[in-house]
Amino acid sequence: MEDAYARSAREVLDFFAVDPARGLTDFRVAEHGRLYGKNVLPQEKSTPFWRLVLKQFDDLLVKILIAAAIISFLLALANGETGLSAFLEPSVILMILAANAAVGVITETNAEKALEELRAYQADVATVLRNGCFSILPASDLVPGDIVEVSVGCKIPADMRMIEMLSDHLRVDQAILTGESCSVEKELDTTNVSKAVYQDKTNILFSGTIVVSGRARAVVVGVGSNTAMGNIRDSMLNTEDEATPLKKKLDEFGTFLAKVIAGICLLVWIVNIGHFRDPAHGGFLRGAIHYFKIAVALAVAAIPEGLPAVVTTCLALGTKRMARLNAIVRSLPSVETLGCTTVICSDKTGTLTTNMMSVSKISVLHSANNIPVVAEYAVSGTTFAPDGTISDSTTELQLELPANFHCLLHTAICSALCNESVIQYNPDKRCYEKIGESTEVALRVLAEKIGLPGFDSMPSSLNMLSKHERASYCNRYWENQFKKVSALEFTRDRKMMSVLCNRKQIQIMFSKGAPESILPRCTNIMCNDDGSTIHLTSEIRAEIESKFHSFAGNETLRCLALALKRMPLGQQALSFDDEKDLTFIGLVGMLDPPREEVRDAILSCMTAGIRVIVVTGDNKTTAESLCRRIGAFDHMDDFSGLSYTASEFEELPALQKTMALQRMTIFTRVEPSHKRMLVEALQHQNEVVAMTGDGVNDAPALKKADIGIAMGSGTAVAKSASDMVLSDDNFATIVAAVAEGRAIYNNTKQFIRYMISSNIGEVVCIFVAALLGIPDTLVPVQLLWVNLVTDGLPATAIGFNKQDSDVMKVKPRKVNEAVVTGWLFFRYLVIGVYVGLATIAGFVWWFLYSDIGPKLPYTELVNFDSCSTRETNYSCTVFSDRHPSTVAMTVLVVVEMFNALNNLSENQSLLVIPPWSNLWLLGSIILTMLLHTLILYVAPLSALFSVAPLSWSEWTVVLYLSFPVIIIDEILKFFSRNSKGTRFNLRWRRMDLLPKTEGHSK
């Protein structure tokens, strides 16, 4: 029943045909069970493991690699190869793909945990009226129409409509659903609000929320999926995971590369059709297979097999650095997503604020003879810990012994006695926790901060207590001094509560409540300086009321007034008539305070071009006041056009909605569907959205956002739905995480460019060799070695490049920005062409000029395939010698080591950023060269990779051919740093290696 809040209790009872005095009959229970289903969130089918595994191979580059592995294996068998040589290349490729698939499967299985965690918020049991009798039944047995009784501490088992109040009032903590820091008072009256949100439905008890005070009966109107918690589940379930910006770019790169590879391979094969019948191949078919094998080798050379592994490794290294910043990354790709975040939608309660209601101001009468007559005190401390000071707001001087001031002392006594909450220390979490109403807990903490009178060593003596004893030491002291005799509970019409206490033959009634209820009942007022009581004159009353309006209006504090009254000795009960002729003690103002570090964090976000939108279930005035109190929005004198409630935003025309989204700073009175809607609307404007939150209500938006950021103290549901968890609940940690994300992306671009230029070199090498008609320069297994080991280690080490000093002073990059574009593509094309030509040069040098080589004429080299049909003065076996390919492979390895040094910075010279600025890169280069030397000089390995040991003269030639790559790139960097490079970039701007796409991508 979706509109139960808009109907009277009688209408709801009639709809379900239930008698509120007897409950449902067994027949009705069975009938409703068939009609509405069980009161459980359905178990969602998990994705089969085999489907998750197959999903990891649904990538064009991966498919090309698998095809290359299979073809390589079949060609090896067709050539009569057996054993290790036939299986080596395909086995290595498949091992790489299996490792990447494993990482993907682990990441995706984490995503399904959020739905499981949601079930933890369902109640286990419920007190149900059936067949005229109350009984405790499993909550899963509830059906719509059941009459349920709830009281303090109960977890609401289903969505229910209030039908009877069994106490003066009922308050429910529904923060997990709405994010409100204060509990909500429930009532029986019908709600007549159009487009009512959860906060407006004051006659509905929502599943999973908790009763903090009072007792009532309600009729079940929604079970299972048809509850507020069920709606959250459905919203999470309907959210599809989207690719991150980097993943999108790599996918585009794969598609682009696949087309290039296919074209080049086909071109190489077609160009050599005339050589298919060469006698060296032994027939047309064998010749076709030979050149097809070269095309496969070209495909292997063009595909950077190590790229997925290097990206994963770099992101993993980034997560370790972020963990040290208290940002726990649950999804590796989200590390990079932070770098292009343009909007952070921040939950207010518990994220920008501490979610711990605390007293911040106290106002009392100083003395009738003092100007001004009203004294104001500021209270520090923003948590439930009994740590804080009381300071005079006028002089800003801290009070050493607050309890020696009469009004402050009686404020502490009234706060301790007019209270039903509890504070306790949790040793496991190492923090103080509350049980009960937030405002009452704030008063408990205030009593601890004021302390006890008559002890010169009061502050230090309290600090000597254990944390468990300190939690409520002062409160327990007053409870022991004043024995409670009777109490009048809070009611909606009175808006106050009173307790009658006895101490040393003196009976006193203490009262607390809304100032508009307490103040009219007061005839006297206590003076703070001497403890005397004077008549509450109209002038003093006006001063107090002015202070109240200042607290509640400008500062949006939640205000309570405290009062007392001497009662006749022996009185054992209180009546409402006793609540008059009171003596006013003071006024306290409390709030859910902002975190101290939030201001600087938001300002840093603004400097970095990131917009912050405060999203909350609280009302508009409270949210705007918080933003002013934070201080980061001081430049916004007026929030009109920047602050909207959910209903206001929904009523805007489409064009105005678009404009509002571009300026919005505050979004209030929201429920889960609104948060998700906001994220989607921003994403449609090509914004990259980060959503922070900690409650169950935040989970759908966290899952939908490009990066969901949960608080460490938040609910398990929020954490499971998020990509990242802030272990310190500190909004400022997001700023550090964004800086790290940007640095990771910059380093990722560097090693992608490094691998691209290296692979261009390999493609040029094979392509030019095929065009010239010389023997195979490199065999596929050598290409694999270079791609995985030679490229992989330095590329990973590039991920350790230092963070740029201005990384948080530039605007976020566009999501459709290509990784390599224009001038950069030209630069790396030049480098790649040189790498390929240097490799060919090393190969040709050995045949033509090496002292241990055959010193052939160039014409003999390009006609090697007809050697067996001609008379020559050299043996044809020289073309199967392993030395020339070894020289070529070594040139390729060494030139790429020098090229790795080029990638310490995109544009800065090696003279500015020297090689030792990244010791990991130097270490990887040394390790790579040791491994390469190992396969050259260890017999079994040299045979496996078809290489031979090199002489010193051959090493000298290798160095001569390799080093110029640094000189070439230094020249290109020089142009990049100057205007000529900029103009050149304009001419090349359309040549994007990674194609741009329109629209938003996650």
Provide the annotated active-site residues. Answer: 347
> What are residue 934's DSSP bridge partners?
none
Measured distance CA(898)–CA(913) in Å, rounded: 14
Q: Are strands 666-668 and 522-526 parallel, antiparallel or unpaired?
A: unpaired
In sequence order, what E strands does 367-460 have?
Answer: 374-379, 390-392, 422-426, 431-435
Whether the bond between 372 and the residue before it is cis, its omega within 30 degrees of 0, is yes
Measured distance CA(625)–CA(813) in Å, rounded: 32
Q: What is the DSSP string of 954-969?
A: HHHHHHHHHTHHHHHH
Q: Which residue has the tokens 């390919």?
A: 885
Instruction: Say how far residue 158 (Cα) sits from the centre of its chain.
Output: 30
Structure token digits, residue 981: 């490079």
Residue 712 and residue 330 in contact, taking contact as beta carbons nearer than 8 Å? no
644 φ, ψ (degrees, to nearest 5): -140, 145
Residues 6+ apart with CB under 8 A from 849: 855
In one-letter notation, the amino acid at residue 372 is P
Structure token digits, residue 427: 């040793």
DSSP H helices, 112-238, are: 113-118, 175-178, 228-237
Q: What is the DSSP string of 493-546?
A: TT-EEEEEEEETTEEEEEEEE-HHHHGGGEEEEEBTTT--EEE--HHHHHHHHH
Measured distance CA(42)–CA(31) in Å, rounded: 20
Residues 6+ apart with CB under 8 A from 598: 352, 630, 632, 731, 732
In sequence order, what E strands does 197-249 have?
Answer: 204-205, 210-222
Shortest CA distance to 91 belongs to which of 115, 66, 117, 121?
A: 66
DSSP H helices, 37-118, are: 49-55, 60-78, 84-111, 113-118
Structure token digits, residue 398: 């801290």
> What are residue 500's DSSP bridge partners?
486, 509
> What are residue 375's DSSP bridge partners?
364
Structure token digits, residue 441: 């807990």
> What are residue 586's DSSP bridge partners?
562
Measured distance CA(115)–CA(720) in Å, rounded: 8
Q: Are strands 343-347 and 611-615 parallel, antiparallel or unpaired?
A: parallel
Residues 6+ apart with CB under 8 A from 564: 410, 414, 508, 509, 510, 511, 526, 582, 583, 585
Structure token digits, residue 340: 């292009």
Measured distance CA(64)–CA(694) in Å, rounded: 43
Residue 621, classed as helix, strand or coil, is helix
Instruction: Sort 986 into a burial class: Cβ within 10 Å, 0-12 / 13-18 / 19+.
Output: exposed
Structure token digits, residue 1002: 């996650």
Residues 6+ apart with CB under 8 A from 607: 808, 809
497 φ, ψ (degrees, to nearest 5): -140, 155
Q: Are strands 506-513 and 558-567 parallel, antiparallel or unpaired?
A: antiparallel
Measured distance CA(198)–CA(196) in Å, rounded: 7
